Amino acid sequence: LDVSVDTWNFFYTSLVSLWLQRFYIYFGVAFGLSIWFIIIHFSTKRKKKVTEEKSNGNPTALEGTEDKLVNGYANLKAKEVYVAGTKIFYGSQTGTAKRFAKGLAEAVTLLDLPVEVISMGDYDPEDCLSEETSSRNICVFLVATYTDGQPTESAAWFCKWLEEAASDFRYGKTYLKGLRYAVFGLGNSVYVDHYNTVGRKVDRWLWMLGASRIMTRAEGDCNVAQSKHGSIEADFEAWKTKFLSRLQALCRGEKKPCSGKCKKGKCKSRGKQSKESSDQERGASEPENAEAEELFESSSEEEADAEEAGGTNSVVDVEDLGNIVSHMKKTKVQFKKFKAENCQYTQGAGFTALVWLSLVCFNVFGVSVCVFLCCQAMLRGRGGCYKHTFYGIQSHRCMEATPSLACANKCVFCWRHHTNPVGTEWQWKMDQPEMILQEAIENHQNMIKQFKGVSGVKAARLEEAMTVKHCALSLVGEPIMYPQINQFVKLLHQHGISSFLVTNAQFPDEIRNLEPVTQLYVSVDASTKESLKRIDRPLFKDFWQRFLDSLKALSEK
């Protein structure tokens, strides 16, 4: 019994002692855990560094799946892919560019990179080129200059689309932002005026659309006397070596040592670069994904000259336009003032239905607002337009308008010079039909009032013109896109106003659902699928079927 009591006293004394010293025990445990976590952290970091150094030896390899034991769990992390593959586009007439493309593809394949060789004649840039902005591919363009500085037959459509997109403000300067490219031009310096014209233009158009060069444009010369390396094949081999080196650097995620905004192939001094970059950092915050948006040098002297002359917003070749640029700027200012005075629209959430009344942007009669010539002639007691000849409609009582500024085509003959928005469906804030009609009539009357006292205008005709009797929904855009087009047409008829509506044959369902109008027009601008695509440049991929269905729907009305 005494033994058991002594044992109990021993354990009791030990427990009491531990309890009294518990704070020291807690501190010791916490200190030990901290040391353990620090050791694990540094060992993991060192292991990661070693793995990255090993993976840098292979430019295309992903950082393999590395197992990091943290608290007993494996954390698998893959390295970011800087280059997913290479696409080589060629435009060839005699086969030289095609041969170069195949040779470059073989060299790229040795770097364990996916590569695809594409003829420009088999590629639709309108549908596919924008996809390269996010594909992480490197696009190479091998383009030859053919007769009179024109592209080869296979590259003609590609170059035509690229030129039009570069000069169309609706695409904008960031349309191809994210696309990385290099250009090698093939030409003959014997033809001095057209030497490598196509390569230079393709390079410039891509740059104007926001694409980024990975290296300066190179030019091969068939004239062995002037070729830098003795022949066009040697020129290409020299460029190919530089390209492969640059491609390997990109695969490793390396950046260029300079700011990437050099002009005329000359890098700025280090001091100047650092000063400018620090000024830019103070002036504006850089985006987080600056690495993905990295720009590269401009290799075109013409671009530098154009920027100096035209400012940051210039997308016009000043060399080609010369003194016309100043005239265009004045016209643009006058046009903005003209729209502000004569266009009614709502700003904010989106562009709404435009009401642009019987106006033309030429101030030829000395009044603040000009009307169509047929209206002016009718106000003077002369003849009108074809609507008067065919249907007896008086031009001075005709109101040109549209409830939709947008269109689903980008026709080459568009009289609005492609300044209106485009779309395949209504995506803007919508005004009500009553408001559109009310403001349309008010603006028409205000416009007519300005002809009071103008030489030759008859008072009786001026009074008649104050009452609108006809509305031509054909001014601009695609009126049938307006979601409440039927309500708007009904409203016109209720006010005793006849209606003419013009559609571009891309909305067959809307034509079927359209309630009776006084006159319905369907524009037929071409007779074949190929010519319709080149002339109307529709946005819908099934544009031809929509065209045929629209004609069928018209026949059923």
Residue 229 CA to its chain's centroid (Å): 38
Q: Which residue has the tokens 């109990």?
A: 8
**What homologous superfamily is domain 357-556 in, according to CATH?**
Aldolase class I (3.20.20.70)
Distance CA 156, CA 336 (A): 35
85-252 and 357-556 share one fold: no
Instruction: List Cα–Cα distances, 61 to 56, 81, 90, 181, 420, in angstroms.
Output: 8, 9, 28, 22, 47
- CB within 8 A of 261, min separation 6: which ones? 295, 297, 298
A 10 A CB-CB count for 454 gives 14
Q: In whole angstroms, give the CA distance from residue 165 to residue 71.
A: 55
Of 78, 25, 28, give the one whose Cα is nearest residue 48: 78
Tell me the one-letter amino acid at 474. S
Name which CATH class applies to 85-252. Answer: alpha beta
Side chain identity, residue 6: D
Beta bridge partners of 502: 521
Judge contact between 218 and 141, C-beta under 8 A: no
| Low-confidence residues of the chain: pLDDT under 50 | 57-78, 257-325, 335, 338-339, 341-370
Is the distance from CB of 218 to CB of 249 less than 8 angstroms?
no
pLDDT value at residue 143: 93
pLDDT score, position 51: 61
CA distance 402 to 424: 17
DSSP tag of 515? P
Q: Which amino acid is at 156?
A: A
Q: Are strands 355-356 and 343-344 parallel, antiparallel or unpaired?
A: antiparallel
CA separation for the pair 182, 137 (Å, rounded): 12
Domain-by-domain residue ranges, the chain?
A: 85-252, 357-556
In three-state form (DSSP H/G/I as H, E/B as E, the rest C), the secondary structure along 231-294 is CHHHHHHHHHHHHHHHHHHHHCCCCCCCCCCCECCECCCHHHHHHHHHHHHHHCCCCCCCCCCC
- Asked whether the beta carbons of 517 and 489 are under 8 A apart, the reply is yes
Nearest to 361 by CA among 287, 416, 314: 416
Q: Which secondary-structure segment (H or E) carries 434?
A: helix 433-449
What are the counts of helices (DSSP H) followed by strands (DSSP E) for the chain?
19, 14
CA distance 288 to 285: 9
Q: What is the pLDDT of residue 315?
A: 39
Does residue 165 contact residue 176 with C-beta atoms inside 8 Å?
Answer: no
Task: Kindly provide the b/e burial profile for residues 175-190, where b requires at least 16 CB atoms within 10 angstroms of the residue's own CB.
Answer: bbebbbbbbbbbbbee
Q: CA-based angle 281:283:287, to the nearest 5?
A: 55
Of 431, 448, 427, the residue nearest 342 (C-alpha): 448
pLDDT of residue 255: 66
Place of tokens 């044959």: 505
In the block, which residue shows the tokens 């106000």? 379
- The model's pTM is 0.43
